[in-house]
Structure 1
Amino acid sequence: MNIGYARVSTQGQDLTQQRSALTEAACNRVFEEKVSGARKDRPELGRMLDHLRPGDVIVVTRLDRLARSTSDLLGITERIKDAGAGLRSLAEPWADTTSPAGKMILTVFAGIADFERSLILERTSSGRAAAKARGVRFGPPSSLTLEQIAHARELIEREGKPVAAIARLLGVHRATLYRALAA
């Protein structure tokens, strides 16, 4: 069964052209919505994906009506594939997972997206390492100052005060004080 998906970004836009193109493409059912593609929550898209059965083919007039980015397209395509269904774009004939060539193109896209994710992770990791080398501290600021830690150490070692009492005095949890003393 061919299932159409039509989307426009604003309430003022019209779905008529998409609707007629999907009807000409022999879509038995068309899911329509007027919502920005940038929104993750697109109710009709979710309903359509939940409605899929093996052998169904999602038909869109253009891929930008279905997905907001390459990674979004690949995620949606994966859900379609997991349901045993296919995807076909009327404007982009190469985007047809019902054909071997279309499957290959989307596989290449998936590889490129994976490569891009790896590059981003690598750049992020090297950036963090460089920042750490410059002395940048990550995470929340320390709950205790160096003076408070020194004072706590003195109270424990010289006066024999219990860690729990000192932690209460400093307004921190015992574990926080233990970590600070160990550092």
Structure 2
Amino acid sequence: MAIIGYARVSTDGQTLDSQIAALKAAGAGRIYRETASGAKSERGELARALKAIAAGDTLVVTRLDRLARSTRDLLNILDAVAKAGAGFRSLADVWADTTTPHGRLMLTVLGGLAEFERDLIRTRTGEGRVRAKTRGVHMGRPPKLTTHQKREALNALADGSTSQADLARRFNVSQATISRLPR
């Protein structure tokens, strides 16, 4: 049952000293140190820390913003910690402590709110898509051929004067695009 610390600063000009001191005072035996922007999803030392935790261990950070860049990122990291059978604790954010019943409750509520927000966004996006379609907005990729080009290609195919391959070269599209034209 080890206490594993994770300390991160965003730029080379910043120092990890105060975080490391706080993590050592909290009993961290191993501390993973990183200089990387929180916006980067690839944080090697965080990945190593998550691989190192085992059942009964506790991952400790000084503040939540040192660990995650968003609520979704935080919930994903905490899910990885929970799957390892470990706990999580933020020294400055006492409510973020999965080693206590109150902390688990707060993070469960936070997770529920994030899921609710995702569902709301999905619903609003779907409604917006429906409204846009009723206004005649085209969804998806733009057509490869203009209406005039389609008509010209269909006429050429109908009178047999040009092959699909020749039309594809003329309009700079694939032969499949020509073959899918409705006849």
- Would the TM-score normalized by the shorter structure come out above 0.5? yes
Counterpart AA for 2:86: A
Instruction: Give 3-state SS (helix, strand or coil) of 2:180's partner.
Output: helix
Partners in 2 of 1:163 and 1:151 — Cα distance?
12
**Pairing of 1:113-132 with structure 2 (within 5 A):** 113-132=114-133
Root mean square deviation of aligned Cα: 1.9
Partners in 2 of 1:140 and 1:18 — Cα distance?
49
Superposed CA deviations along residues 75-120 of structure 1, whole A, max 9, x for unmatched, are: 1101111111110111122211112221121111111101111111
Counterpart AA for 1:179: R
1:61 paired to 2:81: no
Report the equivalent of 2:53.
52
Point out 4+ residue stretches in structure 1 off by more than 3 angstroms: 158-171
Report the equivalent of 1:137.
138
Task: Identify unmatched segments of 5+ residues in structure 1.
Answer: none
**Pairing of 1:1-183 with structure 2 (within 5 A):** 1-159=2-160, 162-181=163-182
Identity %: 49
Task: Identify unmatched segments of 5+ residues in structure 2.
Answer: none
Contact 2:12 2:35 in 1 (8 A): yes
Superposed CA deviations along residues 106-138 of structure 1, whole A, max 9, x for unmatched, are: 111111101111111122222222222222223
* TM-score (normalised: structure 2): 0.89
Contact 2:11 2:36 in 1 (8 A): yes
Superposed CA deviations along residues 2-43 of structure 1, whole A, max 9, x for unmatched, are: 001111222222222211111111111111112221221211
Contact 1:33 1:44 in 2 (8 A): yes
